[in-house]
Amino acid sequence: MNINISISEQTLTVLDRDGELLAQFPVSTAANGVGCEKGSECTPLGAHVVRAKIGGGAPANAVFVGRRATGEIWSPELMTEFPNRDWILTRIMWLSGTEMGMNRLGNVDTMQRYIYIHGTPESTDMGIADSHGCVRMRNADMIALFDLVPVGTTVQINND
């Protein structure tokens, strides 16, 4: 099984070992475009792997800060109270680059940059680049993806 993320299409596609389509979801990648450097707030390109899955069994809209559930459930009122928060909701799939010097180690390490596939408020537009580097998904889609793919699943992020 593998995941392909298309920056130009703003989609995440899950394929089985034979290349058969299992699922496809709209996503939102980085507003700053693509790039691998720390601090760039860009979505990194290349080959990755799902290094960790966080939040299994948490309710939809559960809020995560520092990869820990805060006990909060996202709401418009909570968003008003914390207007500058980058909302990481429901589930987290933490990515790790596999290409030395491109997205692994040094100043380009995807895992050290805390690049995730994660849920986001339902008011967030999908299909447009608007994140801080992560791959945002609707919460129901994030739960479906989280339940479908295991840790170790390959993730290819392409600019096409």
70: left (phi over 0), alpha (psi -120 to 50) or beta: alpha
Residues above pLDDT 70, as percent of the chain: 100
Q: pTM to 2 decimals?
A: 0.96
**Distance between CA atoms of 18 and 21, rounded to whole angstroms?**
9
Structure confidence by residue, pLDDT tens digits, 63-122: 999 999 999 999 999 999 999 999 999 999 999 999 999 999 999 999 999 999 999 999
Look at residue 106 in the predicted model and tell me its pLDDT: 94
Mean pLDDT of 41-51: 98
Q: Which residues of 131-160 are buried (b: 16+ CB within 10 A; e: fewer)?
A: bbbbbbbbbebbbbbbeebeeebebbbeee
List, in order of start, the domains of the chain with CATH numbers. Answer: 2-158 (2.40.440.10)
Residue 18, pLDDT > 90, answer yes
> pLDDT tens, 126-138?
999 999 999 999 9
pLDDT in tens, 26-39: 999 999 999 999 99
For 79-127, give the secondary structure using H, E and C. HHHCCCCCCEEEEEEEEEECCECCCECHHHCCCCCCCEEEECCCCCCCC
For 114, counting Cβ atoms within 10 Å of its Cβ (0-12 exposed, 13-18 middle, 19+ buried), the class is middle
Q: Is the pLDDT of residue 160 over 90?
A: no
**Across all residues in the chain, what is the average pLDDT?**
97
Residue 48 token pair: 């990755």
Task: Report residue 2's pLDDT band, with 50, 70 and 90 as the boundaries.
Answer: very high
Question: Are the CB atoms for 156 and 45 separated by under 8 Å?
Answer: no
CA dist., res. 120 & res. 97, Å (int)? 23
User: Is the pLDDT score of 23 beyond 90?
Assistant: yes
